[in-house]
């Protein structure tokens, strides 16, 4: 006995074998159990180490396919749960984005189980075909090495280093298991059954959670709430107003929005609070400036901030979100709070596989080392565009289909739905079935690589023809989104839902196409990035019809005509901020007292009750603090040169202040493209000082004063003197 204890101590010196030493102690209860699957009259003597250990010369210990598969299932589940614990630790204790949906709690172990079992099937096939070719220890070596490569891949090491470490550990672990092979199969089988049961519980929790939240929401029902209006918020990711025919663009990119704009309120100067997705959405959902939401690159929305979905759900509405920009609108950003149903990352076989660290590292390694040159290397999330798993990308048609299915299957509570379209975001690819109107589908590998690598390619090295090709693709993407919005609203109209639905169509930010020497977004606060469309279609119960309109449409029978009978069809030229959307929505649907949000309401402009309000003293701010870590402009954007940017728009002036103290001032009435910086001109010093003070007050939470008008006669004289 002392000799045995001494042997065990020697074997447990290395920490890597501590777990297997514990398994051996646990296996004492299995000593009298015959090998799993053996006849009952067959006995196996496993009472001594000499009987357990195989002669060192006998490297070809017999192995069965059944043993290989059981070992593969056991190793895959163990590795999957280890990787899951690592992911949970990263997510909840270090706030690291996993770039996965809420279903990761079961997808990670399921994905690792699938990949390891697939490796086990290959090994089992060799065993069946050539039983003498593979020993039991060799089979275990392959399976264990493959299984533990997943958890090891989560470490910040090069992939080849992870592979070498997995092979070395797999060899030692396989050797340790082989010495206990007599009882391992039985133990692994029983343990796998228990781990599969735990996996089923995780799956039930993930799918049952939305139903549980929905039941809580139904407990907040309002009296006669079925008569209250629905709310549909549509956000077109990366769509600037400048490229919409709705705003005078020379190409007919948005005929559907133009058709519906005749029955609603179009804001000509709507401004986003940030030039990229997460902070802009956070501001639209909370009514706060980006600084106050704390939402940023890989930083979620502050949990203490009430969202629009939370307020509406607490007041009896069923809520759902359908997002295509899964990275910057997924549940990890905190934008899903308050939604009973939220679809970001799809639940699919390919997504299960993508949830594993091994798959991510393999795709990254293969793409960077073998498939694409370094100048066109892409983030791993864009592998789907290369045809790996094209069904993972959710285009506008799929977003519409998912929303319409949810709308039809729900209860009779009024809804608040949020739709996020991602089609106009790079790489500017439309679905294969869409007939492009302004350009052609990429036909050659070069053209496809151009769009796929657009974010990282140095644009100053491209010809004008290539830039025009990409811009044509961008316009086609906008046209595709417009087509899908028209189809969606037509379907809601056919169902009789549209006549009682407040529809808001906007965008989170715009896009640079060479203006100011910039491309993409999250690079500046110029109008190309923050001037976005805003169209509000209010149901007839909320809108005051202009005089004479009712008589003109009397007798029309369609639901769209009923909407027209009470629509304003107005255009609002005054600048507004998307920050005001929450206050506007709760005001329009009659929840102003029950749900208050910062910002001001635009309801009077939408309904026509107050079409000419007095000059508003509230500031219109935009901010860019910490942009995404991207080489879109290779360090040439102002935010990388001069630090964070904050801007304010008052009257016709756009003032920008940079982190290093630099200031810029543009007169939008005379210079809508912001080509002439007026900050250094003496005649505008008073305006500059007023804008500076107004920005400071606005960022501190004050209202901000309206800058005094500059003397136009002096300005004209200044301009003439410069000619």
How many C-beta atoms lie closer than 10 Å to residue 26's C-beta?
Answer: 12
Cα 616–Cα 622–Cα 626 angle in degrees, nearest 5:
160
DSSP β-ladder status, 318-323 and 519-520: unpaired
| Predicted local confidence at residue 634, as pLDDT | 67
Mean pLDDT is highest, among 10-19, 208-217, 588-597, 702-711, for 588-597
Give the pLDDT mean for 135-153. 90
Give the pLDDT mean for 83-110. 88
How many C-beta atoms lie closer than 10 Å to residue 433's C-beta?
Answer: 6
Instruction: Name which of 145, 185, 195, 200 is nearest 167 in CA terms.
Output: 145
Tens of pLDDT, residue by residue over 293-302, are 887 777 888 8
Per-residue pLDDT band at 599 (split at 50, 70, 90):
confident
Q: How far is CA 457 from the centre of its chain?
A: 23
Tens of pLDDT, residue by residue over 272-293, are 999 999 999 999 999 999 888 8
Per-residue pLDDT band at 702 (split at 50, 70, 90):
very low
**What is d(CA 666, CA 678) in angstroms, rounded to the nearest whole number?**
6
The CATH number of 623-722 is 3.30.1120.10
Cis status of the peptide bond prior to 427, with omega within 30 of 0: yes
Instruction: Name which of 706, 272, 297 is nearest 526 in CA terms.
Output: 272
Q: If you write DSSP's letter for every residue of 224-260 in order, what string do you get? A: TGGGSPEEEEEEETT--GGG-GGGT-SS---HHHHHH
Helices 464-495 and 396-409: crossing angle in degrees, nearest 10, is 20
Let me know: does 540 contact 240? Beta carbons within 8 Å. Answer: no
Tens of pLDDT, residue by residue over 46-92, are 334 444 343 443 445 567 888 899 999 999 999 999 999 999 998 88
| Predicted local confidence at residue 91, as pLDDT | 84
How many C-beta atoms lie closer than 10 Å to residue 58's C-beta?
Answer: 11
| Predicted local confidence at residue 4, as pLDDT | 44
Per-residue pLDDT band at 182 (split at 50, 70, 90):
low
Per-residue pLDDT band at 444 (split at 50, 70, 90):
confident
CA count, 13 A, side-chain hemisphere, 225: 22
| Predicted local confidence at residue 346, as pLDDT | 87
Percent of the chain residues topping a pLDDT of 70? 75
Instruction: Name which of 70, 155, 82, 67 is nearest 112 in CA terms.
Output: 82
**What is d(CA 649, CA 687) in angstroms, rounded to the nearest whole number?**
12
Tens of pLDDT, residue by residue over 115-140, are 999 999 999 888 888 877 778 888 88
Which regions of the chain carry the CATH code 3.40.720.10?
227-342+401-423+457-517+530-611
Structure tokens that stand for 350 in this block: 């390919």
Options 3.50.50.60, 3.30.1330.10, 3.40.720.10, 3.40.50.1100; CATH of 227-342+401-423+457-517+530-611: 3.40.720.10
Q: What is the mean pLDDT of the chain?
A: 79
End-to-end CA distance of the chain: 103
Give the pLDDT mean for 511-537. 93
DSSP β-ladder status, 645-650 and 653-658: antiparallel
Which regions of the chain carry the CATH code 3.30.1120.10?
623-722
Strand order in the sheet with 653-658: 621-624, 645-650, 653-658, 663-667
Answer whether residue 11 shows pLDDT above 60. no
Least confident of 73-82, 211-220, 222-231, 403-412: 211-220
**What is d(CA 65, CA 129) in angstroms, rounded to the nearest whole number?**
10
Whose structure tokens read 């990409």?
470
| Predicted local confidence at residue 83, as pLDDT | 93
Using DSSP, state whether 670 is helix, strand or coil: coil
Residue 301 or 309, more confident: 309
Answer whether residue 530 shows pLDDT above 50. yes
| Predicted local confidence at residue 146, as pLDDT | 92
How many C-beta atoms lie closer than 10 Å to residue 266's C-beta?
Answer: 24
| Predicted local confidence at residue 354, as pLDDT | 85
Answer whether residue 572 shows pLDDT above 60. yes
Answer whether residue 223 shows pLDDT above 80. no
Per-residue pLDDT band at 214 (split at 50, 70, 90):
low
């Amino acid at each position: 006995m002392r000799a045995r204890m001494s042997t065990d101590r020697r074997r447990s010196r290395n920490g890597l074998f501590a777990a297997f030493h514990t398994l051996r102690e646990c296996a004492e209860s299995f000593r009298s159990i015959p090998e799993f699957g053996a006849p009952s009259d067959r006995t196996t003597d496993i009472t001594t180490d000499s009987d357990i250990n195989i002669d060192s010369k006998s490297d070809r210990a017999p192995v069965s396919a059944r043993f290989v598969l059981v070992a593969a299932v056991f190793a895959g589940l163990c590795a999957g749960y280890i990787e899951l614990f690592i992911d949970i630790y990263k997510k909840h204790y270090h706030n690291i984005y996993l770039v996965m949906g809420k279903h990761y709690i079961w997808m990670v172990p399921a994905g690792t189980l699938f990949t390891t079992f697939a490796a086990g099937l290959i090994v089992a096939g060799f065993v069946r075909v050539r039983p003498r070719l593979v020993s039991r220890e060799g089979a275990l070596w392959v399976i264990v090495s493959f299984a533990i490569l997943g958890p090891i891949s989560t470490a910040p090491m090069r992939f080849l280093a992870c592979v070498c470490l997995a092979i070395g550990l797999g060899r030692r672990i396989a050797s340790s298991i082989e010495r206990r092979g007599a009882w391992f199969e039985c133990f692994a089988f029983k343990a796998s059954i228990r781990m599969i049961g735990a996996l089923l519980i995780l799956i039930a929790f993930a799918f049952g959670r939305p139903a549980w939240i929905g039941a809580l929401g139904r407990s907040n029902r309002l009296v006669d709430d079925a008569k209250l209006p629905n709310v549909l918020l549509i956000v077109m990711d990366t769509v600037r107003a400048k490229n919409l025919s709705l705003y005078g663009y020379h190409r007919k990119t948005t005929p559907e929005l133009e058709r519906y704009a005749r029955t609603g309120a179009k804001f000509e100067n709507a401004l986003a609070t940030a030039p990229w997705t997460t902070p802009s959405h956070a501001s639209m959902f909370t009514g706060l400036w980006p600084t106050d939401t704390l939402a940023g690159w890989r930083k979620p929305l502050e949990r203490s901030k009430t969202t629009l979905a939370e307020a509406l759900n607490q007041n009896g509405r069923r809520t759902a979100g359908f997002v295509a920009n899964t990275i910057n609108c997924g549940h990890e950003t905190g934008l899903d709070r308050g939604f009973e149903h939220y679809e970001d990352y799809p639940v699919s076989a390919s997504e299960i596989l993508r949830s594993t660290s091994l798959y991510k590292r393999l795709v990254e390694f293969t793409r960077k080392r073998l498939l694409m040159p370094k100048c066109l290397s892409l983030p791993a999330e864009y592998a789907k565009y290369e045809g790996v798993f094209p069904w993972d990308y959710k285009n506008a048609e799929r977003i519409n289909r998912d929303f319409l299915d949810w709308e039809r299957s729900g209860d009779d509570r009024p809804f608040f739905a949020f739709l996020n379209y991602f089609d106009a975001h790079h790489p500017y690819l439309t679905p294969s079935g869409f007939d492009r109107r302004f350009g052609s589908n990429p036909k050659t590998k070069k053209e496809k690589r151009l769009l796929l690598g657009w974010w990282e390619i140095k644009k100053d090295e491209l010809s004008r023809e290539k830039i025009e090709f990409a811009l044509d693709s961008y316009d086609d993407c906008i046209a595709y989104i417009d087509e899908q919005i028209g189809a969606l609203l037509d379907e809601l109209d056919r169902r009789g839902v549209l006549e009682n639905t407040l529809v808001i169509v906007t965008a989170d930010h715009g896009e640079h196409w060479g203006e100011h020497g910039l491309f993409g977004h999250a690079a500046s606060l110029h109008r190309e990035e923050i001037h976005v469309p805003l169209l509000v279609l209010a149901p007839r119960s909320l809108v005051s019809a202009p005089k004479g309109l009712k008589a003109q449409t009397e007798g029309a029978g369609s639901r769209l005509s009923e909407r027209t009978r009470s629509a304003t069809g107005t255009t609002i030229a005054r600048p507004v901020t998307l920050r005001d959307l929450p206050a506007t929505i709760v005001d329009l649907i009659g929840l102003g007292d029950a749900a208050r949000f910062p910002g001001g309401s635009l309801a009077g402009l939408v309904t026509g009750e107050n079409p000419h309000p007095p000059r508003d003293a509230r500031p219109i701010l935009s901010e860019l603090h910490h942009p995404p870590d991207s080489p879109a402009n290779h360090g040439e954007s102002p935010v990388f040169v001069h630090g964070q940017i904050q801007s304010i728009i008052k009257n016709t002036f756009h003032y920008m202040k940079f982190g290093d103290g630099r200031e810029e001032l543009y007169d939008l009435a005379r210079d809508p493209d912001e080509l002439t910086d007026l900050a250094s001109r003496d005649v505008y010093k008073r305006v500059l000082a007023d804008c500076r003070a107004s920005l400071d007050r606005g960022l501190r939470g004050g209202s901000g004063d309206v800058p005094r008008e500059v003397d136009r006669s002096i300005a004209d004289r200044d301009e003439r003197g410069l000619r």
